[in-house]
Amino acid sequence: MSLTIERMTELNNGIGPNAMNIRSQATRVINGPMPARVRKELMAAVKAGALGRLPKKGLLPEIFFHPDHLHGARDRQKREAEYSAKCIAGVVA
C-alpha cells in the first residue's frame, strides 16, 4: 500500500515526511534553492516547534535541525562557513 504525502503528514501529527527526515538526521544544511512545497512544509514544522531553523547569513548556510540539537546545528553551520571561505580562498590564491 502506497501512502500519499498528505496521509503521511496526517499520521505524523501534522509533520510532513521532509520534516521527519530532518528530525531523524538531526540537521540538514540548505545551500541552494528548494521547491516551494518543501520550504512551506519545513517552515510549518518550525512554527509548530517540531524543527528549529538557523537562517542564512553571509557565508553561513541555512540549517534546519531537531530542536534538541541546537548546539550541533550551530557547530555545523560554522564548519560549513569555514569550508566555504577555504574554497573561495583557494580559488583566489
Q: pLDDT per residue over 28-72, tens digit each?
A: 999 989 999 999 999 999 999 999 999 999 989 999 999 999 999
Q: Band the pLDDT of 92: cuts 50, 70, 90.
A: confident
Q: How far is CA 3 from CA 17, 26, 73, 77, in A?
A: 11, 24, 31, 34
* Spatial separation of the C-alpha atoms in residues 76 and 80, rounded to whole Å: 6
Q: Is the pTM of this model over 0.75?
A: yes
* DSSP bridge partners of 27: 65
**Quick check: 4 pLDDT over 60?**
yes
For residues 17 and 8, the answer to whether their CB atoms sit within 8 Å is yes
Q: Is the dihedral of CA 60, 61, 66, 72 positive or negative?
A: negative
Quote the mean pLDDT of the chain: 87
**Quick check: 25 pLDDT over 70?**
yes
